Amino acid sequence: MNVAATTGDTGHDEHARVDAPVPAPGPRRRAGGRIAFAVSVFGELLITAGLVLGLFVVYSLWWTNVVADRHAHRQADKVRDGWARQDTGPGALDTRDGIGFLHVPAMRNGEVLVEKGTSSKILNEGVAGYYTDPVKAALPTSGRAGNFALAAHRDGHGAKFHNIDKLEKGDPIVFETKDDWYVYKVYAILPETSKYNVEVLGGIPKESGRKKSGHYITLTTCTPVYTSRYRYVVWGELVRVDKVDAARTPPKELS
């Protein structure tokens, strides 16, 4: 029997295909793999960075509000409890926990505790602070003419002046103390000015159009929203002082 005839050429071809060596990957294929890996790592880094940024935004714009509001409520309770414990008659001004409460209906922010100072440490506690530097605010309780200049955050940390842009000329601003309600009326607004413009805090705020001494209130905060590039300023002038009655009935402007 012819063995060569039995195996035939077909068997030889199959053996050749099975045993043929696989070509090694060339330089182009290896380079493509490195690029794909780098793109994958970069994508994961972007996703991680996005998550971190998102968490930071949540912390800045939501959680700091929660923490600040809790602290402000505790401080407010301490102030009102202190008022209630005092004997009848005018109480001595105590700046340790707060000097009173700001009520601005147009801002829809409820009552805002007012404390001494405008440092980040003070304002981050969800309160408004009256200026002691670079210009010293004139407290309405002193009875002297001057400018009761205040500051508060517009976003984060309670954001007590977030809606300051809702204020219009003629709107009321009321400051509540243990013994009196000081009722002011908005008469001028400056939507944007330099953060270094201390003239707006002056005893006679000439930039507001006033040229004579009087009893003024000034609200300041950062602008635009979520930045601290400029300052938004609202000026009010005292129109009357109402005595606090036993029921602490608010003035008609707050009804």
Interval 80-96: pLDDT, tens: 999 998 754 444 455 66
For residue 22, give every residue at least 6 positions away whose Cβ sits within 8 Å of its Cβ, in sequence order, or none.
none
Tens digits of residue pLDDT in 49-78: 665 555 545 545 677 888 888 999 999 999
Catalytic option among 222, 233, 234, 238: 222
Domains, in order of start, for the chain: 59-84+95-254 (2.40.260.10)
Q: What percent of the chain has a predicted confidence (pLDDT) above 90?
A: 66
The pTM is what? 0.76
Q: pLDDT class for 35, splitting at 50, 70, 90?
A: confident
Q: Is the pLDDT of residue 145 over 70?
A: yes
Taken in order 157, 158, 163, 167, is the CA torsion positive or negative?
A: negative
Give pLDDT, residue 242. 97
- Dist. CA 234–CA 169, nearest whole Å: 9
Tens digits of residue pLDDT in 185-236: 999 999 999 999 999 999 999 999 999 999 999 999 999 999 999 999 999 9
Mean pLDDT of the chain: 84
Give pLDDT, residue 41. 65
Nearest Cα residue to 225 out of 52, 55, 60, 50: 60
Nearest Cα residue to 219 out of 170, 144, 156, 162: 162
- Dist. CA 136–CA 124, nearest whole Å: 20
Lowest mean per-residue pLDDT among 86-95, 114-123, 158-167: 86-95
Give pLDDT, residue 117. 96
Q: pLDDT class for 10, splitting at 50, 70, 90?
A: very low
Q: pLDDT class for 15, splitting at 50, 70, 90?
A: very low
Give pLDDT, residue 12. 45
Question: Are the C-beta atoms of residues 124 and 153 closer than 8 Å to each other?
Answer: yes
Q: Give the max Cα distance, the chain.
A: 133
Beta bridge partners, 182, equal 175, 241
181 is a catalytic site residue: no
Q: Is the pLDDT of residue 172 over 70?
A: yes
Bond into 172 cis (ω within 30): no
Angle at 226 between CA 69 and CA 222, to 5 degrees: 80
> What residue spans of 108-220 are helical by DSSP H?
120-123
Q: Which residue has the higher pLDDT, 132 or 8?
A: 132
Q: Is the pLDDT of residue 40 over 80?
A: no
The two tokens of residue 199 are 């003239």
- Dist. CA 24–CA 151, nearest whole Å: 72
- Three-state DSSP class for residue 19: helix
Question: Are the C-beta atoms of residues 127 and 152 closer than 8 Å to each other?
Answer: yes
Q: Whats the size of the chain, residue-wise?
A: 255
